[in-house]
Amino acid sequence: MGRCYERFAIQKPRVGGMIRSFESRLRKRWRDFYGCDTATFDVQAVAIGDVCFVGVPGEVVCELGLEIKWNSPFARTFIAYLATGYHGYMTPMNLMAAGGYEAQSHRYASADTLKMVKTAQDAMVELRRHLYPEDDGGDDPYPDNQHPPIVNMPGMYKGSKWSH
């Protein structure tokens, strides 16, 4: 492998996935449509090394996607929309209050959007703990905590443990 690609190689790849569900009360319009009061929604987390893909059951607006990313224990987190089903737009409460297209297609109680975010965060934390368990000494073996190379310096690897 060429030297310029070495920093992108996963030394000891750890791959895993997890599916978690949350239940929510449907909004009246959708209760009538589905003929039930509640629905169960799935959230999926799939990790390859320090990259995590989070599958959500609809089209999450930017604010909710960022909330999931901000609280992710992985170095890089990507949201996969419509990955576990199609349940319309998913919007935070302030967008529900403002109205609009996204709010009209939101199928479950607006406060339950936090359940979706929390379910995603819990799945990522549990997945991370499964892939990178703490050792007996309490050290965190997460890849980005182990001597990360400094790549922003002139000469690329100069000044890091990767210097040649």
Tally of domains in the chain = 1
- The answer to whether residue 4 is domain-embedded is no
Q: What is the pLDDT of residues 103-127, one digit of tens each?
A: 777 888 888 888 999 999 999 999 9
Choice between 156 and 84, residue whose per-residue pLDDT is larger: 84
- The answer to whether residue 65 is domain-embedded is yes
pLDDT tier at 3, thresholds 50, 70, 90: low
**Run of H or E including 53:** strand 51-55
- The answer to whether residue 164 is domain-embedded is no
Contact between 107 and 30 under an 8 Å Cβ cutoff? The reply is yes
Q: Is the pLDDT of residue 22 over 90?
A: yes
- Domain carrying residue 40: 12-128
- The answer to whether residue 157 is domain-embedded is no
Q: Using CA atoms, how far apart are residues 158 and 64, in angstroms rounded to an integer?
A: 39
- The answer to whether residue 147 is domain-embedded is no
147 token code pair: 């001597």
Q: What is the mean pLDDT of residues 67-77?
A: 92
Contact between 82 and 59 under an 8 Å Cβ cutoff? The reply is yes
Place of tokens 């400094």: 150
Q: Using CA atoms, how far apart are residues 66 and 32, in angstroms rounded to an integer?
A: 32
- The answer to whether residue 144 is domain-embedded is no
- The answer to whether residue 140 is domain-embedded is no
Q: Residue 109: what pLDDT?
A: 82
Q: Using CA atoms, how far apart are residues 68 and 124, in angstroms rounded to an integer?
A: 9
Percent of the chain topping pLDDT 70? 75
Q: What is the pLDDT of residues 27-43, one digit of tens each?
A: 888 899 889 999 899 99
Q: Nearest to residue 149, comparing CAs of 1, 2, 3? A: 3
Tell me the range of 9-18, 67-76, 141-150 where mean pLDDT is highest. Answer: 67-76
The answer to which of 49-53, 93-97, 150-154 has the lowest mean pLDDT is: 150-154
Distance between the two ends of the chain, CA-based, in angstroms? 16
Phi, psi of 17, deg, nearest 5: -150, 160
Q: Residue 14: what pLDDT?
A: 85
Q: Residue 145: what pLDDT?
A: 52
Q: Rounded to 10 degrees, what is the CA torsion of 54, 56, 60, 63?
A: -40
Q: What is the pLDDT of residues 80-89, one digit of tens each?
A: 998 888 877 8
Contact between 48 and 15 under an 8 Å Cβ cutoff? The reply is yes
